[in-house]
Amino acid sequence: MIFYTFDNCSKYMLIFLKFYPITSLLIYKQTVSNRVFKILSMLMINWFLYFTVIFSKKLLLYFIILKKKVEGYEVVN
């Protein structure tokens, strides 16, 4: 959260920044039909899950492979 000096203008800015995501979503939902909104939200959730779950699994596999390589070299030496 960005903090401003607390004059009237900055108070309104803080309120706007605080509720910006909710208001933008509401405006978006009003302009776009419900069906399209649901599809887009599902796509966003899927995209988020892909980058959290699958990417973390790939990182874990990468570290396991590195660990095995290091252990293998230690045994050889």
Residue 12 lies in a domain: yes
Residue 56: phi and psi, rounded to 5, are: -65, -40
CA distance 34 to 25: 12
**Number of separate domains in the chain:** 1
Residue 57 lies in a domain: yes
Residue 70 lies in a domain: yes
The whole-number pLDDT of residue 2 equals: 44
Residue 38 is part of which domain span?
A: 8-76
The whole-number pLDDT of residue 74 equals: 52
pTM of the predicted structure, to 2 decimals: 0.27
Residue 21 lies in a domain: yes
Residue 37 lies in a domain: yes
Residue 3 lies in a domain: no
The whole-number pLDDT of residue 43 equals: 72
Burial category of 14 from C-beta neighbours within 10 Å (exposed 0-12, middle 13-18, buried 19 and up): middle
